[in-house]
């Protein structure tokens, strides 16, 4: 198939481009480079041994998307990663988040309809579950209104896509609810490129270990979890990327409207377990200290992966130690460029 990947130079998008290529799919990439670098395209081309059509373009501008569709024929599917993704930033600039994540999605849906593109895969998030009353969460666990414009944008996007797909004959959609993606490609050529001070745990750990941050603050030690720290379902980014290949193949070969899948490992790991894994695989002592809880943090969440395994036939291959190792190898390669 020929797949247009929006946000294809970003963290998850770039790994997915590599896996799509590996699986024999043809790829067209678009990205406005607001949170990525053009050098990621060169890295992908080196890894894949081919060039990719690339458009520096913005999903909030319908003319940009129309120009791509006019230039690129026979697009079979769109995998839509392009979005802004910071919860705290979204609290500071809600309208920017609505514009990028909702207006951008509306434009993508307009293109899907006008050009009759049959297969659509969307990046959703476990954030739609809020603070679940029971773990692990299944796809049937109720979604909740989110305390942040970022989370709201994912919830509203899911609803819009389901309705749009139901009302538009010939379109099949897959919503992937990612848990916590971490790690980097084994080649060391692509990985996460956090800007400024990382808000997420793993890049903060690697930057601290690398000496670019003095100390990791562990937010909260008094949660009702076995070691008192929060629990998340960390998933290796390459496993997550492979789930997109499975999703687009599934849409192409099944009579569906919209299907939703949790994409996690099914294992919950605490913040302290991540630190211990990192220290074990790197042999380093991480400088960390317990501080107060971070407002808005969910205590514990991990995925029930029965559906994604049974229906998509997808299973994660990487362990938590692999996630720590590849994240560290990538940090060493990046050096202070990410700090
Ligand atoms: P990322 O920021 O690395 O990638 C997003 C890419 O989209 C970037 O390259 C950015 O330049 C591009 N982009 C942003 N706005 C754009 C626009 N208006 N037009 C064109 N390109 C634009 O983020 P990521 O971690 O790869 O996340 C990809 C998707 O997965 C996002 O939709 C995000 O909300 C979702 N998601 C991410 C996580 C996570 O923890 N990383 C978890 C759940 C869901
Ligand atoms: C994980 C755990 C922190 C940093 C966020 C978004 C969510 C999703 C994934 C997109 C928490 C703790 C962290 C630090 C710490 N993104 N932590 N010290 O909060 O699960 O989810 O990213 O959809 O929407 O909210 O991920 O990596 O920020 O935190 O102790 O310096 O690590 O408190 O318990 P989170 P995270």
Does the structure show a pLDDT above 50 at 331?
yes
Counting from 1 in the atom list of ligand 2, the atom nearest the Cα of 127 is: 24
CA of 212 to the centre of ligand 1 (A): 24
Q: What is the pLDDT averaged over residues 120-138?
A: 97
Q: What is the pLDDT of residues 265-324, one digit of tens each?
A: 999 999 999 999 999 999 999 999 999 999 999 999 999 999 999 999 999 999 999 999
Q: What is the pLDDT of residues 77-90, one digit of tens each?
A: 999 999 999 999 99
Please pick, among 150, 178, 223, 318, the residue that the annotation labels catalytic. 150
CA of 221 to the centre of ligand 1 (A): 30
CA of 232 to the centre of ligand 2 (A): 8
What pLDDT, on a 0 to 100 scale, did the predictor assign at position 4? 98
Does the structure show a pLDDT above 80 at 337?
no
The residue assigned the tokens 């990791």 is 216
Q: What is the pLDDT of residues 182-204, one digit of tens each?
A: 999 999 999 999 999 999 999 99
pTM of the model: 0.98
Ligand nearest to the CA of 219: 2
CA of 319 to the centre of ligand 1 (A): 24
Q: Element (H or E) spanning 160, and its range?
A: helix 149-167
Nearest to 104 by CA among 172, 34, 178: 34
Q: What is the pLDDT of residues 35-57, one digit of tens each?
A: 999 999 999 999 999 999 999 99
Nearest to 327 by CA among 223, 193, 195, 217: 193
What pLDDT, on a 0 to 100 scale, did the predictor assign at position 338? 56
Q: What is the pLDDT of residues 90-114, one digit of tens each?
A: 999 999 999 999 999 999 999 999 9
Pairing of strands 269-270, 231-232: antiparallel
Q: What is the pLDDT of residues 5-39, one digit of tens each?
A: 999 999 999 999 999 999 999 999 999 999 999 99
Q: Element (H or E) spanning 54, and its range?
A: strand 54-56
CA angle in degrees (0–180, nearest 5) for 42-324-247: 60
> How many whole angstroms separate alpha carbon 57 and alpha carbon 74?
19
Does the structure show a pLDDT above 60 at 167?
yes
Does the structure show a pLDDT above 80 at 146?
no
Phi-psi region of 89 (alpha: psi -120 to 50; beta: other; left: phi over 0): alpha
> How many whole angstroms separate alpha carbon 231 and alpha carbon 87?
18
Burial class (CB in 10 A: 0-12, 13-18, 19+), 289: exposed
What pLDDT, on a 0 to 100 scale, did the predictor assign at position 273? 98
Does the beta carbon of 85 sit less than 6 angstroms from any atom of ligand 2?
yes
Ligand nearest to the CA of 198: 2
Does the beta carbon of 242 sit less than 6 angstroms from any atom of ligand 1?
no
Does the beta carbon of 199 sit less than 6 angstroms from any atom of ligand 2?
yes
Does the beta carbon of 265 sit less than 6 angstroms from any atom of ligand 1?
no
Does the beta carbon of 84 sit less than 6 angstroms from any atom of ligand 2?
no
CA of 245 to the centre of ligand 2 (A): 26
Ligand nearest to the CA of 91: 2
What pLDDT, on a 0 to 100 scale, did the predictor assign at position 62? 98
Does the beta carbon of 288 sit less than 6 angstroms from any atom of ligand 2?
no
Length of the chain: 339
Looking at residue 102, what DSSP letter applies?
I
What pLDDT, on a 0 to 100 scale, did the predictor assign at position 339? 47
150 is catalytic: yes
Does the beta carbon of 297 sit less than 6 angstroms from any atom of ligand 2?
yes
What pLDDT, on a 0 to 100 scale, did the predictor assign at position 18? 98
Tell me the average pLDDT of the chain: 97
């Amino acid at each position: 198939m020929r797949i247009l990947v929006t946000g294809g130079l970003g963290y998850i998008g770039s790994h997915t481009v590599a896996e799509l290529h590996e699986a024999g799919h043809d790829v067209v990439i678009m990205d406005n480079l607001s949170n990525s670098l053009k050098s990621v395209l060169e890295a992908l081309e080196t890894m894949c041994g081919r060039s990719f059509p690339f458009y520096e373009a913005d999903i909030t501008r319908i003319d940009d998307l129309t120009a791509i569709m006019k230039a690129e024929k026979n697009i079979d599917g769109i995998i839509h990663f392009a979005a802004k993704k910071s919860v705290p930033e979204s609290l500071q600039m809600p309208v920017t988040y609505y514009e990028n994540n909702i207006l951008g999605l509306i434009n993508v849906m307009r293109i899907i309809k006008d050009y009759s593109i049959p297969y659509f895969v969307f990046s959703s998030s476990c954030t739609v579950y809020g603070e679940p009353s029971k773990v692990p969460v299944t796809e049937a666990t109720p979604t909740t209104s989110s305390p942040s414009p970022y989370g709201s944008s994912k919830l509203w996007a899911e609803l819009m896509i389901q309705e749009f797909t139901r009302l538009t004959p010939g379109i099949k959609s897959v919503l992937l609810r990612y848990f916590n993606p971490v790690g980097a490609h084994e080649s060391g050529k692509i990985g996460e490129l956090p800007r400024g001070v990382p808000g997420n745990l793993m890049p903060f750990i690697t930057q601290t270990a690398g000496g670019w941050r003095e100390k990791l603050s562990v937010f909260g030690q008094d949660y009702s979890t076995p070691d008192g720290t929060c629990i998340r379902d960390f998933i290796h980014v390459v496993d997550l990327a492979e789930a997109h290949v499975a999703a687009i193949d599934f849409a192409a070969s099944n009579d569906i409207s919209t299907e939703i899948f949790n994409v996690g490992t099914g294992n919950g790991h605490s913040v302290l377990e991540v630190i211990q894994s990192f220290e074990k695989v790197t042999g380093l002592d991480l400088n960390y200290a317990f501080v107060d809880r971070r407002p808005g943090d969910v205590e514990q969440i991990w995925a029930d992966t029965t559906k994604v395994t049974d229906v998509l036939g997808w299973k994660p291959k990487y362990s938590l130690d692999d996630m720590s190792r590849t994240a560290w190898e990538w940090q060493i390669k990046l050096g202070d460029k990410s700090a």
